[in-house]
Structure 1
Amino acid sequence: MSTSIKIHFLGASGTVTGSKYLIQTPDKNLLIDCGMFQGIKKLRELNWQQLPAKASSIDLVLLTHGHLDHSGFLPRLVKMGFKGSILGTAPTLDIAEIILRDSAKIQEEDAERANKDGFTKHNPAEPLYNISDAEKAINRFQKQQEAEWIEIDDNIKARFQYNGHIIGATFIEIDLHGKRFVFSGDIGRPDDALLRDPKKPESADILFMESTYGDQKHIEEDTSGKLKQLIDETTQNGGTLIIPSFAVERAQLLMYLIWQLHKKELIPASLPVILDSPMGARALTTFIKFPDWHKLTEKDYADMTDRIHIVESYKETWKIIEDTSPKVIIAGSGMVTGGRVLTYLKQYLDREETTVLLAGFQAEGTRGRQLLDGAEEIKFYGKYYQVKARVDILDGLSAHADQTELLDWLSEIKKKPEHVFLVHGEPQSLDMMRVKLKDTHGWEAHIPELYEIANIQL
């Protein structure tokens, strides 16, 4: 007798944010990832809607990794009635804990600022969730070993497999009634300075594949050389180099690359290099706690953190801003959607001697994308700020596999999957990846729409 499985595409379908995939089975209901929507207003507003599935009916959440677009909706899910456990690798849950607390704090502060300054249509403005909500989600975390099968039910088992991208990140394999479901999560890149190469799945009957860069190949760039060049050009001009950075992995990688330039005496020993990202600083501790998940030695870590000043208070942020001498600042967030980087941009964005260096994917509708596209002004804190600073991007720093690397990640799957779903990409990326899969492997892939339900007979 066949078993019917329903797949609900609750996020990252036709877009790169809000990853959520609900598998409804006769035995258990599993949610793979529970991300927050980011980017354009139309997407952000989805975070406030009720899910088209009962949160109380979900038995388990399995997280591929801790990024906000994969874990940031968890407090809302708990608020909506979810009472199950949240599973992930130990570093993933460590990172998710940091990110959820930070997200809740930012939302509380943003709501408070909006109410105080009156730039809100809501009376009063409310946070999506608060710190108490975040703690309730964190209390449901259950750490799992990488590469070990977990028995979920008589007919269901799952395991987390190393995937690069950020510390703790995995793809998830679920064996369900004799069929293997593979959720790629976000796939990392080979030869990363800090992380090992991603593992590759050996079989997949039903495959859910990210396509962030499904339409392109990363530019082969001398990242360290470009970083040195921009540091030299900006500081010799008397300016400040501001690098909006993702707090997890990207901030640590930037620190590592700048420390390497210092170690090789390619940048002045006297040049201040500052990490101003409370979340980035806390994420650094995850690297110390889980040495088996990355390449950084204990000595490297100590030397790197000795060279780079880590800001400990918001009061210190203002002291740094008031010092107009040349410096390098790494500050969250990576897509300029919030965080300390906005405080710096408020003061430095209208100065021609400033350089804003973007260091990763900039989603549609984010301020990072606006800067990349040449915006003459950007809006934050309810006001418009002129862009006179130079804007550049480090193309070689992406933590996402490109089209060639995505295809290579699939190279050990010998048997053609019965179903391939392309997710976590913008429309062009998704469609180009669909065509490429057809041309190279002969695989037919489907691009689901948001809230689509796929019925699969096992």
Structure 2
Amino acid sequence: MKIKFIGGAGTVTGSKTVVESNGVRILIDCGQFQGIKSLRELNWLPLPVQPSTIDFVLLTHGHLDHCGWLPRLVDQGFKGKIYCTSPTKDITKLILLDSAKIQEEEAYKANKEHYSKHEIAEPLYDLKKAEAVFPLFRVIKPNEKIDLDAEISAVFTNAGHIVGACSIELNLENKTVVFSGDIGRDNDILMYPPTKPQKADYVFLESTYGNRLHPETDAKAELEIYINNTIQKGGTVIIPSFAVERAQTIMYLLWQLKTEDRIPNIPYIIDTPMGIKVLDIFENNRRWHKLPEHEYVAMCQMFTMNTDYQETIDTIYNPQPKVIIAASGMITGGRVLSYLERYIGLPETTVIIIGYQAEGTRGRKLLEGDKEIKIYGKQYEVKANILEIEGLSAHGDQKDLVNWLSELQNKPQKVFLVHGEKEAFEELSTKITEKYGFECVIPQMNQEFDI
């Protein structure tokens, strides 16, 4: 069996791992690289493995860094099956259509305003290429064995990260190989705890927060303080948010605060068309999350939901203090950029960062104190108050990741650490080795292992 790391190795984004056994090629996730320019440029390169030779894609969940390269894969010759849960299929469709639309719009804008270094700016893929992915989806049920081949089977189990997210257990060549996907938290506000593996000969474990512990602070109380302080100054609160699950979590916390009369009666706006559509996925997949129906309905009634871009424009130029949830979570694109163009230079504005910010993203740069950020080719001075609520990440922290291995009934031969940055890999490796005595390996991009 050969394992080749063609994404998500040595970095947090672009997750792609090839498993080859007896002439069958399986791709675990097919993510887009995000963050620094050198990573984003990898999205334009051909895979080191011919897409036409890949038989199956197994998709852990629908975030862009795990599914966002599928249109390129299909366009370059992949004709196999894409296995995932029903919510993951629905979320991936939304993510890919949104990604294609944003790329088309940004290419058009770059060409119109001449700020691209390329003579003609082109999108990574367009809507037509995104839609070409959809016929290849095959929906599976969690905890049920799927036979991919006479000698290869897979089982998907709840990962607790977002609705539909799973870890994947592959059984082949008399070995059990487990891919964690992104692991959620044991005490998440909306998601159920991740299912821990019982057996694994090899483990591929995400390491996003491998060197961090989520604070014990009360995220809801922090949100209350930040909002009240901003509104008292007559300012606007902007919360860049991932459209899937984080936006819904923030909505839920804001609804609780409003119900408890802890935040003022001002407009609360969700301005992410995809995030609004994800609410329907929440509604239709109740067994994947903890949110009761009556609270879901009341929560939705509290928010103004912007779907049309003219509504965004009207909101931007409305001087009234307000709270806005807008995608994208790392401020790499989406409608949040339109808000920041107008509000980032106002000292009464508060921007609340609530999720992981990959290296090179605008979100990371703001957290690191950059005094200027570039939006659509123009530099904007940062005068807004930039705050972070760490307790709202959808990723498990170091303790959660180490604990995820706690029910293994055998000692894995190796634990490969993926989907993280250097410090996270190293510290998580030390913790796992100290606690369990497991051998940890930190693979590099395009490295191949025989197992």
Kept in 2, the 8 Å contact 1:32–1:64? The answer is: yes
Kept in 2, the 8 Å contact 1:36–1:69? The answer is: yes
Partner residue in 2 for 1:293: 288
CA-to-partner distance for each residue in 1:204-240, whole Å, 9 max, x for gaps? 1011001111112111111110000001000010000
Partner residue in 1 for 2:306: 311
Partner residue in 1 for 2:420: 425
SS of the equivalent of 1:186 reads coil
CA-to-partner distance for each residue in 1:110-138, whole Å, 9 max, x for gaps? 11000000011212111000000000011
Partner residue in 2 for 1:88: 84
SS of the equivalent of 1:234 reads helix
Partner residue in 2 for 1:40: 36
Partner residue in 2 for 1:166: 162
1:333 matched to 2:328:
yes
Partner residue in 1 for 2:372: 377
Instruction: Pick one of 197, 202, 216 that aligns with 1:201.
Output: 197
Q: How many residues of Structure 1 are paired with residues of Structure 2 in the alignment?
A: 451
Instruction: Pick one of 247, 271, 279 that aligns with 1:276.
Output: 271
Measure how far apart 1:27 and its partner are. Answer: 4.0
| Alpha-carbon distance in structure 2 between the residues aligned to 1:360 and 1:44 | 20
Q: Which amino acid aligns with 1:318?
A: I
1:405 matched to 2:361:
no
Partner residue in 1 for 2:262: 266
Measure how far apart 1:139 and its partner are. Answer: 1.7
CA-to-partner distance for each residue in 1:214-271, whole Å, 9 max, x for gaps? 1121111111100000010000100000000000000000000000001111112x21
Show the 5 A alignment for 1:179-194: 179-194=175-190
Measure how far apart 1:203 and its partner are. Answer: 0.7
| Alpha-carbon distance in structure 2 between the residues aligned to 1:431 and 1:282 | 38
| Alpha-carbon distance in structure 2 between the residues aligned to 1:166 and 1:221 | 22
Kept in 2, the 8 Å contact 1:27–1:153? The answer is: no
CA-to-partner distance for each residue in 1:129-167, whole Å, 9 max, x for gaps? 000000001121111101100011111000110011100
Shift >3 Å, 4+ stretches? none
| Alpha-carbon distance in structure 1 between the residues aligned to 2:32 and 2:149 | 28
Instruction: Pick one of 68, 72, 76 that aligns with 1:72.
Output: 68
Shifted more, 317-326 versus 56-65: the winner is 317-326
SS of the equivalent of 1:265 reads coil
Q: TM-score, normalised by structure 1?
A: 0.98
Shifted more, 362-371 versus 18-27: the winner is 18-27
| Alpha-carbon distance in structure 1 between the residues aligned to 2:443 and 2:25 | 20
SS of the equivalent of 2:132 reads helix
CA-to-partner distance for each residue in 1:400-443, whole Å, 9 max, x for gaps? 11111111110000211012110000011001111111111111
SS of the equivalent of 1:139 reads helix
Partner residue in 2 for 1:141: 137
Partner residue in 2 for 1:128: 124
Instruction: Pick one of 412, 429, 432 that aligns with 1:434.
Output: 429
| Alpha-carbon distance in structure 1 between the residues aligned to 2:377 and 2:57 | 36
Partner residue in 1 for 2:7: 11
| Alpha-carbon distance in structure 2 between the residues aligned to 1:48 and 1:146 | 33
| Alpha-carbon distance in structure 1 between the residues aligned to 2:35 and 2:86 | 29
| Alpha-carbon distance in structure 1 between the residues aligned to 2:360 and 2:436 | 34
Q: Which amino acid aligns with 1:155?
A: E
| Alpha-carbon distance in structure 2 between the residues aligned to 1:322 and 1:445 | 53
Q: Which amino acid aligns with 2:426?
A: D
Instruction: Pick one of 385, 393, 399 that aligns with 2:388.
Output: 393
Instruction: Pick one of 175, 196, 199 that aligns with 2:171.
Output: 175
Instruction: Pick one of 144, 156, 166 that aligns with 2:152.
Output: 156
| Alpha-carbon distance in structure 2 between the residues aligned to 1:230 and 1:396 | 14
Measure how far apart 1:297 and its partner are. Answer: 1.7
Partner residue in 2 for 1:213: 209
Q: Which amino acid aligns with 2:356?
A: F
1:415 matched to 2:415:
no
| Alpha-carbon distance in structure 2 between the residues aligned to 1:402 and 1:191 | 11
| Alpha-carbon distance in structure 2 between the residues aligned to 1:8 and 1:236 | 54
SS of the equivalent of 1:94 reads helix
| Alpha-carbon distance in structure 1 between the residues aligned to 2:84 and 2:296 | 25
Identity of aligned residues (%): 53
| Alpha-carbon distance in structure 1 between the residues aligned to 2:123 and 2:292 | 40
| Alpha-carbon distance in structure 2 between the residues aligned to 1:445 and 1:119 | 45
Partner residue in 2 for 1:451: 446
Q: Which amino acid aligns with 1:405?
A: D
Q: Which amino acid aligns with 2:385?
A: R
CA-to-partner distance for each residue in 1:297-335, whole Å, 9 max, x for gaps? 221111001001111211011111111111000000000
Partner residue in 1 for 2:349: 354
SS of the equivalent of 1:123 reads coil
Partner residue in 1 for 2:253: 257
Q: Which amino acid aligns with 1:91?
A: P
Q: Which amino acid aligns with 1:368?
A: G
Partner residue in 2 for 1:323: 318
Unaligned runs of 5+ in 2: none
Shifted more, 343-352 versus 428-437: the winner is 428-437
| Alpha-carbon distance in structure 1 between the residues aligned to 2:120 and 2:316 | 32
Q: TM-score, normalised by structure 2?
A: 0.99
1:55 matched to 2:51:
yes
